[in-house]
Structure 1
Amino acid sequence: MKIREITDAIERFAPLALQESYDNAGLVVGDPEREVSCALLAVDVTEEVLAEAEREGCDLVVTHHPIIFHPLRRLNGADYVQRCVERAVRSGIALYACHTNLDGAPNGMSWRLAAELGIGALRVLEPAAGKGEGAGFGVVGELPDAVPTLDYLRGVGRRLGVGALRHSAVVHERVRRVAVCTGAGGSLIGEALRAGAELYLTADLKYNDFMTPSGRLTVADIGHFESEYCAIELLFEIFSKNLRTFAVRKSGCSCNPVSYLCL
């Protein structure tokens, strides 16, 4: 199957027009007219993921994060980005990224994570103007019943395999309305407040982010990788529904670069 046919199917779900201006989603390495036989799905392009693709005979790697965000000035193996790009080219492995367009697509990343965490009646937290119904970043919805906030956070941590879950002061003893944004979502704290959320789950929160909603909202940092691992399942579903005769594998080497030391 041609790479173009595969990327067309992905982009019908997550059009490239939905990506943010800083992003580099799309075909990063490879010829769209080239024939490929098997895709490997991962969160990131790493040397371990590329080695896995070589072992398994996968000539296309589809990830959430693009390996190249900025123009490469050199290709001399000085860092993992250069090594990965050179290895992909030498091994004939095409690289495709579905990043903020998958985040912002209707029923995209935050929708998937929220559903996994038992949150229903979802709506977009920050709609993308002029990009269609359901497009935008983050979601807010309701749990079936109000539950103790700390119990719910413990359940989230167990469900996502979070090594350590950071959170602000618990404002509400029990929580029902929950907002979610996969990846770095500190900029949407105000939107979560305006949506009446009692708890906001996201990642990469800074020190002052834990103070911003003081007395009104509990915010919790659930880890960047942990919040975005659902990209693999979401992409697998797109392949399964639209490319049924094409071979696709979920990476067993897609790992969190952050380690936690339990004291």
Structure 2
Amino acid sequence: MKIKDITNYLEELAPLNYAEDFDNVGLLVGNYNTKINGVLVTLDTLEETVDEAIAKNCNLIISFHPIIFGGLKKLNGNSYVERVVLKAIKNDIAIYATHTALDNSKNGVSAKMCAVLGLKNTKVLIPKKAIIKKLTTYVPVDNGAAVRNSLFEAGAGNIGKYDNCSFNTMGDGTFRGNENSNPTLGEKGENHTEKEVQISVIFESKNESTILNALHKNHPYEEIAYEIVTTENVHQDVGMGMIGEFSSAMDEKEFLLYLKKTMKTDCVRHSNFINKKIKKVAVLGGSGSFAISNAIRAKADAYVSADFKYHEFFKAENSILLADIGHYESEQFTKNLLVDYLTKKFSNFAIILSEKSTNPIYYI
């Protein structure tokens, strides 16, 4: 078993292209071809996390947060980040981070929050843009069905609850091959007109290389004409945060006490009570103040996240109950999610949940 076997499967849950542009996800330390002894799953990678990996004979740490976020210009051990990286390298331990790739996954961080809270009928709060692309290509009519089906099999043409979706237009293709060409149809050096079908399909950007491989393998032409564009369509199953409902409504204080107990937090900071029953709840793991307006537009009764600043509580504007449960607390069940996911696939392999709390914040 190699690191790439684990990470390839993990990226089915959290494809790296789901990550935000500012983020640093994937294999941060190590080599994909390294053989694995064991895997330690954690929320953060600290020195004590590396020590735990050493003690438990794990040479791969799967961390939610990336230990290397900005660029490292030196490795002198003068910061906790440098010390972690140096210790990992010295002990041949690889570090892999999922972060916003998992945040944007339909079955990721926010979905786990919904499951812990018992929310039903969940959907993504902020669907992600710019990950749906469109491929257009031109194929001889007699080869159209074969090429189209190969694209479907590679993952193209899926729209919500439908698959095998495409748009096809008949027309005339013209070309002339030079002296070095070997045309499938027509003769080199001569103008040729061929009845062709223009095939257009959409696909998720994570499948682009697989789809292009299928196109080149199944298209009959020596030179293939095609174009790929990124659409502005949102992906309803990919994005930040989620929103769902309780089976029955509860009053605001009852909700906050339930939230405190269920999310295992010592402190819940909240906005003013608005005498409203809480049934529809939006959640977002980590720093989520940017989504307050999205939760309001989605008509949530409450919004649960973390790291709200003083003035951001005013954004509630008596229309929603804001609840800040703490950054660590909102994401703490993420490592359980990753362990459960990996264990289902690698049941005979050591997937270990870190016993260390990496929460840097304490309450008195």
Deviation >3 Å, runs of 4+: 130-133
> Structure 1 residue 179 and structure 2 residue 282: aligned?
yes
The CA distance in 2 between the partners of 1:246 and 1:156, in whole Å, is 35
CA positional deviation for 1:244: 2.2
1:248 to 351, 357, 362: 351
User: 2:257 aligned with 1:165, yes or no?
Assistant: no
Equivalent position of 2:106 in the other structure: 106
For the Cα contact (< 8 Å) 1:106–1:133, is it kept in 2?
no
Please say if 1:154 is aligned against 2:257. yes
Structure-1 residue corresponding to 2:306: 203
Aligned residue for 1:128? 128
Greater Cα shift, 180-189 or 164-173: 164-173
Q: Which runs of 5+ in 2 are unaligned?
A: 132-234
Task: Tell me how large the CA RMSD over aligned residues is.
Answer: 1.1
Task: Give yes or no for contact 1:110–1:181 (8 Å, CA) kept in 2.
Answer: yes
SS of 2:129 mapped into structure 1: coil
Structure 1 distance, partners of 2:76, 2:262, is 41
Contact 1:14 1:102 in 2 (8 A): yes
Give, in angstroms, the shift of residue 243 of structure 1.
2.1
Q: 1:64 and 1:260 mapped to 2: Cα distance?
A: 23
CA distance in 2, matches of 1:75, 1:129: 37
Say whether residues 1:117 and 2:220 are aligned partners: no
Distance in 2 (alpha carbons) for counterparts of 1:56 and 1:86: 19
How far apart, in 2, do the equivalents of 1:206 and 1:243 lie? 42
For the pair 1:238 / 2:329, whether they are aligned, the reply is no
Letter in 2 for 1:112: K
For 1:58 and 1:172, the matched residues in 2 are separated by: 51
1:27 corresponds to: 27
Amino acid at match of 2:279: R
- CA drift of 1:256 comes to 1.0
- TM-superposed CA distance for 1:206, in Å, is 0.9
**Greater mean alpha carbon deviation, residues 150-159 or residues 176-185:** 150-159
**1:257 equivalent in alignment to 2:363:** no
Deviation at 1:116, TM superposition (A): 0.6
Task: In structure 2, give the amino acid aligned to 1:224.
Answer: H
- Measure how far apart 1:234 and its partner are: 1.1
Q: Residues of 1 paired with 2:325 and 2:287: CA distance?
A: 10
In the alignment, the residues of structure 2 paired with residue 134 and residue 230 of structure 1 have an alpha-carbon distance, to the nearest angstrom, of 21
In structure 2, the partner of 1:15 is 15
Aligned to 1:219: 322
Tell me, yes or no, if the aligned pair for 2:124 and 2:238 is still in contact at 8 Å.
yes
Assess if the C-alpha contact under 8 Å between 1:49 and 1:253 holds in 2: yes
CA distance in 2, matches of 1:25, 1:130: 18
2:162 corresponds in structure 1 to none
Structure 2 match to 1:88: 88
What is the DSSP-based 3-state SS (H/G/I as helix, E as strand, rest coil) of the residue aligned with 2:357? coil
TM-score by length of 1: 0.97
2:124, 2:236 within 8 Å by CA — same for their partners in 1? no
Which has the larger displacement, 155-164 or 217-226?
155-164
Equivalent AA in structure 1 for residue 39 of structure 2: A
> Match of 1:222, as an amino acid?
I
Structure 1 residue 169, shift from structure 2 partner: 0.3
CA contact (8 A) 2:276 2:301 kept: no
- In structure 1, list runs of 5 or more residues that go unmatched: none
* Matches of 2:62 and 2:357, distance apart in 1: 12
Q: Aligned partners of 1:180 and 1:4: how far apart in 2?
A: 32
1:140-184 Cα offsets, whole Å, 9 max, x none, are 111100111111111111122212110000123421011100111
Partners of 1:45 and 1:215 lie apart in 2 by 39
Q: Which amino acid aligns with 2:10?
A: I
CA contact (8 A) 1:105 1:135 kept: yes
Residues 39, 59 of structure 1: 8 Å contact kept: yes
Contact 1:147 1:176 in 2 (8 A): yes
Sequence identity, in percent? 38
In structure 2, C-alpha distance between the alignment counterparts of 1:172 and 1:247, rounded to whole Å? 50
| Structure 2 counterpart of 1:80, one-letter code | Y
Following the alignment from structure 2 to structure 1, what is the Cα–Cα distance between the partners of residues 22 and 130? 19
- Cα distance, 1:130 vs. partner? 4.7
Contact 1:49 1:254 in 2 (8 A): no
